[in-house]
Structure 1
């Protein structure tokens, strides 16, 4: 089980939809892999810079409305990008979402441009 969210992670949740914040908090309590929030709400300028850098392919990101978060896995206090870690974190997010009846989408389930660190509220329930 992970520890509680850090002060830095909580600050990065500012402006994020309360339903997603609740999923994050429930997920961190049950995740076998500790994680931190790297980004939540983004400005249009930040999103445009990410598209220009090739780190995103859309100017219509769910981050712009506070409906998405990105996480980073922490192992012994160090950020790790090993793909299997994100599947384990995703399992905790998905279980938390079911428990809270809050539909989410994991970027790791996308068919193209799979994005393991990305979680967002499902557009069908949270337009």
Structure 2
């Protein structure tokens, strides 16, 4: 099955680095799980609000520079946060990134505070 990004997801990719956008677009076509982009570029004000709410722990998020996105799995059109869905999305995102030679980091691979919906460009290649 081949999925496509919705207009809302496309809009949320505005301001995101073109290499990360290319990875997302390639991944959605191959992913066995449909997903939507929930956040891309964030303002400092939005980031500060997320820190205050406990939804983020840093004011130096890669979202501030357009180097990160968050996704949500969609099952029968409904957002789902079940952890087993996110490694499957990540596998497809990583494969697309490898094909496109765009190094990415998946938040689900972090040793603490794992963040399954989060993908960002690797700082070593995209400072």
**TM-score bracket for this pair, using the shorter chain length:** over 0.9
TM-score, scaled relative to structure 1: 0.99
Q: CA deviation at 1:2?
A: 4.0
1:3 CA drift (Å):
1.2
Show the counterpart of 1:66.
66
Aligned pair count?
127
Structure 2 residue 17 is matched with structure 1 residue 17: yes
* Runs of 5+ consecutive residues of structure 2 not aligned to the other structure: none
RMSD between aligned alpha carbons?
0.6
Task: Detail structure 1 runs of 4+ shifted over 2 Å in the superposition.
Answer: none
Q: Deviations over 1:73-109 (max 9, x none)?
A: 0000000000010000000000000000000000000
Aligned equivalents of 1:27, 1:69: Cα separation in 2: 13
Task: Give structure 1 stretches of 5+ with no counterpart.
Answer: none
Q: Is the 8 A contact 2:3 2:30 kept in 1?
A: no
**Structure 2 residue 123 is matched with structure 1 residue 117:** no
Which residue in 1 is equivalent to 2:55? 55
